[in-house]
Amino acid sequence: MPGTKDKALEIVDLKKRYPTGVEALRGVSITIEPGDFYGLLGPNGAGKSTLIHCTTGLAQPTGGSIKVFGHDAINDYGKARAAVGLAPQEVNLDQFLTCEETLDFHGGYFGMQKQDRKERTKELLEIFSLTSKARERTRALSGGMKRRLILARALMHRPRLLILDEPTAGVDIELRLELWHYVQKINAEGVTILLTTHYLEEADQLCGRIAFIANGEIAAQGTSEDLARRYDVVNLEDAYLALVGRRELSRSLVDDTLIA
Ligand code: ADP
């Protein structure tokens, strides 16, 4: 039974073999404590999306277990799913809905009552500086506004775990910093966060703990400093380069005289 000592996310020996025979996850175990800001880093094809899809019910694991705040993501899917907010990598808004409708429909999907949906929508539009756009269709929003609306939508049903799948992929530096500001605030307010990103400085800045995943296995986990120590290097970027077998690319080896 779920209780107060529950982990935010507890994944044990998770395995996923796709019908094609690809073993995307080969026994992954990670534990995320309530309130953590946790990073999941790894090269393309490592299994990050598969892990997120298994956690949010978009893919069926072939082994192991997943619990979200004590709710079994496989056998008690509804409760586990309600505890998770997902901000996907791609901008997947319905362009014919207004901002208000986008949030309201999402709340309805999660069984929120009408009055609650109305109040929560107002609150989130305010938090994400979208109040003046409430009745605009999403197609009329700027890129930054769309990203903010996706975050607001993920939070609409008050999930305790927010999964951010490469939230800043391909966005400009102002928007990246703006999104960092929002997600840090959300985390400070008590929401546990799981972030995947290819930007190591982003993980370094935001995440208290980080797991490296490669070939469907967790290679190492800990703080940024723990990971550097584990690979006998000085920072997270060099630890990551060691993970992917490219130590020779370390910035510490770049010859300054060639750049000058
Ligand atoms: P990442 O998100 O880290 O890039 P993925 O979880 O997308 O990694 O992919 C892990 C492995 O699983 C890759 O080899 C990928 O080709 C494979 N894979 C992902 N989705 C599917 C699918 N629907 N069917 C078959 N293979 C898949």
pLDDT score of 1: 62
pLDDT score of 64: 98
Distance CA 240, CA 243 (A): 5
- What is the residue-level pLDDT of the chain in tens, covering all 260 positions? 666 689 999 999 999 999 999 999 999 999 999 999 999 999 999 999 999 999 999 999 999 999 999 999 988 999 999 999 999 988 999 999 999 999 999 999 999 999 999 999 999 999 999 999 999 999 999 998 999 999 999 999 999 999 999 988 888 898 899 899 999 999 999 999 999 999 999 999 999 999 999 999 999 999 999 999 999 999 999 999 999 999 999 998 886 666 65
Cβ atoms of 66 and 10 within 8 Å: the answer is yes
pTM to 2 decimal places: 0.93
Instruction: Report DSSP letters for 114-183, one per residue.
Output: HHHHHHHHHHHHHHTT-GGGTTSBGGGS-HHHHHHHHHHHHHTT--SEEEEESTTTT--HHHHHHHHHHH
Query: How many Cα atoms within 13 Å fall on the side-chain side of residue 3?
Result: 2
Q: Which residue's alpha carbon is at the smallest distance from atom 17 of ligand 1?
A: 24
Q: How far is the CA of 21 from the centre of ligand 1 (A)?
A: 11
Q: Give per-residue pLDDT as tens, 121-166.
A: 999 999 999 999 999 999 999 998 999 999 999 999 999 999 999 9
- In the 3-class helix/strand/coil scheme, how is 5-50 assigned residue by residue? CCCCEEEEEEEEECCCCCEEEEEEEEEECCCCEEEEECCCCCCHHH
pLDDT score of 170: 80
pLDDT score of 23: 97
pLDDT score of 257: 63
pLDDT score of 103: 98
Q: How far is the CA of 29 from the centre of ligand 1 (A)?
A: 18
Q: Which residue's alpha carbon is at the smallest distance from atom 12 of ligand 1?
A: 24
Q: How far is the CA of 50 from the centre of ligand 1 (A)?
A: 6
Q: Give per-residue pLDDT as tens, 53-79.
A: 999 999 999 999 999 999 999 889 999
Q: Which residue's alpha carbon is at the smallest distance from atom 18 of ligand 1?
A: 24
pLDDT score of 3: 67
pLDDT score of 254: 82
- Verify whether ligand 1 is closer than 6 Å to residue 50 (CB atom): yes
pLDDT score of 168: 87
